[in-house]
Structure 1
Amino acid sequence: MNKIVCLLFLLGINLITASDYRAGGEAGPAEETSDVNYSNLLYGIATDIGRRYDHMEDAYALFLNPEYGLFTLFDGHGGAEVAKFAADDLGPNILAYLNHNPEDKRQAIFDAYITTNNDLPDNIGYKKGATALTALFYDDNLIVANVGDSRAVLSRNGKAYEMSVDQNPEREDEKARIEATGSTVQFVREYIMDKSGKVKLDYWLAGNPGGHRLNMSRSLGDKQFPFVIPDPEFRAIKLNKDDDFLILACDGIWDYMEESQEAVDIVKISLTSGKTLKQAAQDLIEHVKNKAAVPSHLDNMTVIIVGLNSPLDQIQKVINERAKKIAEEKLMLERLLFELKHSSIDSGPGARLSYKRGSDEGYDSFEEGRSERRIKTN
């Protein structure tokens, strides 16, 4: 994996990761090339540990270069180990396979999922697992792949379009596949408290009688279950000027949404009121926290919002440009004050003033999508 990361560095690919805060699909439209530079994609990220656990089991990684924008999100279960491993491994594998097989992107992504699952050490990949959700932007196209129940939703003209489908034992096709392995599917009903009172919660578990059970049918890891496979499902779409943003979030968010449109509406209201993508992601988390009557039930929550070519994206760019201008004016003032303060020690005509802001080196701190740690590319 380290060799792959070094290769990405040499190819000029920005790598942004955050894996520890505390501690067969549908056919897409014909593809066309474009001159979009995906190094400049705008995004905002927000996370919250929730209350159910005392540690964060979510992880994510972003890879941006002129040709591709790749966003990956993982929700661990049984521990954070598989999610952390996948955050380091899956993205580089996808880009390596794309470099080897650029004509068949779905096959490249599929192969990367299988490789990452095979790469998992036995001591973490047997009893622990993670969902995996990836969104690849290229040539004005978007391909989303997933295993598990983390979801991607596209906002187009303010309308929600689901870009992924949960894989769980409730689905008839997944249920049949599970039972074909000799495993069983069990229906479970429980009641939880919400602001509206007692809420019925129905779900399905798969496993063996008297043994461990799982509420999803595909994931990375979980090799103790014969029915769990790492094979991703795909959805693809041709992007256009009406696309507002893409939401990637784990089930800690979606479990509290009546429908995907609810999340889109919250983000749209935040952005049109002048908030940044990061603030909009945080608003989505706060909405979930306010909706939960029993905070102790709150799961880890991670939200990634990618701004697209729309009026909302233009608003975000204006906000970034204004912030950068203010910062430049502040820097100019600081330089002037520095020169005035030290003018008394000027030793004569040959003296020269040297001024450098080391904290600004390597990233643009005024563009929200660059506020995370990344590898320098020049």
Structure 2
Amino acid sequence: MYVRGVNMAAGTDFSPPFALLDGGGYNNSSINKDTSRNLSPPPTRIPTASSKSLMAGLPATPSHQPGSSPPPICLIDLEFRSPFSLFLLQAMDVGIVVNKSPSDEKTDFSPVFRSGSCAEEGPKQYMEDEHVCIDDLNQHLGSTTASFSSMGAFYGVFDGHGGTDAALFVRNNILRYIVDDFQFPMCVEKAIKSAFVRADYAFADDSSLDISSGTTALTALMLGRTLIIANAGDCRAVLGRRGRAIEMSKDHKPNSTSERLRIEKLGGVIYDGYLNGQLSVSRALGDWHMKGPKGSACPLSPEPELQETNLSEEDEFLIMGCDGLWDVMSSQCAVTIVRKELMLHNDPERCSRELVREALKRNTCDNLTVIVVCFSQDPPPRIEIPQTRVRRSISLEGLNLLKGVLDENS
């Protein structure tokens, strides 16, 4: 991701901002092996008057009106869905292919989460990306919040610009803001959206940080078979479904039709593909030199777009990467590479390294951060293509054309 008009913070040293807590702290073994920083442990989630007053400052979710988009889905039961709630599972309007799992009827599938990641500075002078991998939420959160009725996991990629303060702050706090939200776990999607905005506001209030720095944010929250992707920016999440790439997020570029309309409606301008001539993304946290007062509508939005699906046996892995990967590689190419690698060694970390290596070969111009999450302990099965008896024929015109080509080369 490229940014104009913002000075880069060079050589900034960030020490771990939080200490480990016995019994309820973050387990460093469950966090990505590439980083030694630990996340801040979330406090016990008890809805209080103070927490409600804090949330009162966030943008309110409008009630559903006839003809408008449906409200976010509430996950009343994290392990099983009623027929009525299944009926409510509609694809969010994020401009990509609707990707309900073809085998949603199967309730006996239980995903097992295991992940690997790789982060490289690439050709840039500074590394501004951050990421987090948590394969077991129950173990990670411990007694600090209510236990889940099923397996859970959390992953995130944060592509910083103008320094590392925003990316590091969001990485360290976004999960805590989600699980501590008074709407969690009853209405998970509402809690995620509120957490993104709350993280943006909290970052602006921290006087020790450079609030002109910014970051995109892509998170994946998995609760049992339910996968919820939240994205603000141009990172991307792609699901590998039996060798086919299913995009689970939309790149928020200023030139995309939906984002351009939103930006211009709010008084923003797009110059040479940059929002207000400065930023190459249309959604980000931080960048408070480009935003107005808290709560006011702004062309640069911190609010994520969400997409949800129920995982099935067809879904084999998830790829999450910053734009340094997707600038030089298609979603389908990445899925093909990962599936081939998993069939060879079944190691998601080696798969992430291979994607980074391939992006560097293709001369990416940005930092590189990639996470690969597998949903099974076994490697993907070989795809058998049934043989069909097809008679192929060629027209007389085609034969004459082929003859002419052969005569020219002889």
The two structures have a TM-score, normalised by structure 2, of 0.62
1:49 maps onto 2:134 in alignment:
no
Counterpart code for 2:117 = I
Shift of 1:273: 1.2
Distance 1:133 1:221, change over 3 A: same
CA distance 1:155–1:127, shift in 2 (3 Å): same
Shift of 1:80: 1.2
Shift of the alpha carbon at 1:65? 2.2
Gaps of 5+ in 2: 1-15, 38-68, 81-107, 139-147, 292-298, 383-410
Structure-2 change in CA distance of 1:178 and 1:73 (3 Å): same
Secondary structure of 1:229's aligned partner: coil
Q: Partner residue of 2:189?
A: 106
Q: Secondary structure at the match of 1:102?
A: coil
**1:242 to partner: Cα distance:** 1.1
The aligned counterpart of 1:357 is none
Which residue is equivalent to 1:251? 323
Conserved 8 A contact 1:47-1:301: yes
Q: Give the CA deviation at 1:166.
A: 1.0
Q: Specify the code of the residue in structure 2 equivalent to 1:271.
A: L
| Unpaired stretches in structure 1, ≥5 consecutive residues | 188-203, 316-378
Tell me the distance in 1 between the aligned counterparts of 2:319 and 2:176. Answer: 22
Q: How many pairs were matched up?
A: 286
Please report how far the alpha carbon of residue 27 of structure 1 lies from its aligned counterpart in structure 2 after TM superposition.
7.5
Residue by residue over 1:241-298, the C-alpha shift from the partner in whole angstroms, topping out at 9 and shown as x without a partner, is 11110001001101001x2100000111111112511111111111111122xxxx53
Per residue, is there more helix in 1 or in 2? 1
Identity of aligned residues (%): 30
Which residue is equivalent to 1:283? 354
What root-mean-square deviation, in Å, do the aligned CA atoms of Structure 1 and Structure 2 show?
3.4
**Conserved 8 A contact 2:34-2:117:** no
Judging by fraction of residues, say which structure has more strand: 1
CA 1:314–1:125 in structure 2 vs 1: closer, same or farther (change >3 Å)? farther
What is the rounded CA distance, in whole Å, between the counterparts of 2:370 and 2:124 in structure 1? Answer: 18
Change (3 A) 1:118 1:245: same
Compared with structure 1, are the counterparts of its residues 91 and 14 closer, same or farther at alpha carbon in structure 2 (3 Å cutoff)? Answer: farther
With over 3 angstroms needed to count, the CA separation of the structure-2 counterparts of 1:124 and 1:3, relative to structure 1, is closer
Matches within 5 A, 1:58-207: 58-63=129-134, 64-66=136-138, 67=148, 68-97=152-181, 100-120=183-203, 121=206, 124=209, 126-187=211-272, 204-207=273-276
The match for 1:193 is none
Distance 1:104 1:159, change over 3 A: same
Q: TM-score, normalised by structure 1?
A: 0.67
In structure 1, distance between residues paired with 2:351 and 2:34: 21
Q: Quick check: 2:328–2:362 contact (8 Å CA) kept in 1?
A: yes
Q: 1:59 to 1:139 in 2, by over 3 A?
A: same
**1:167 match: secondary structure:** coil
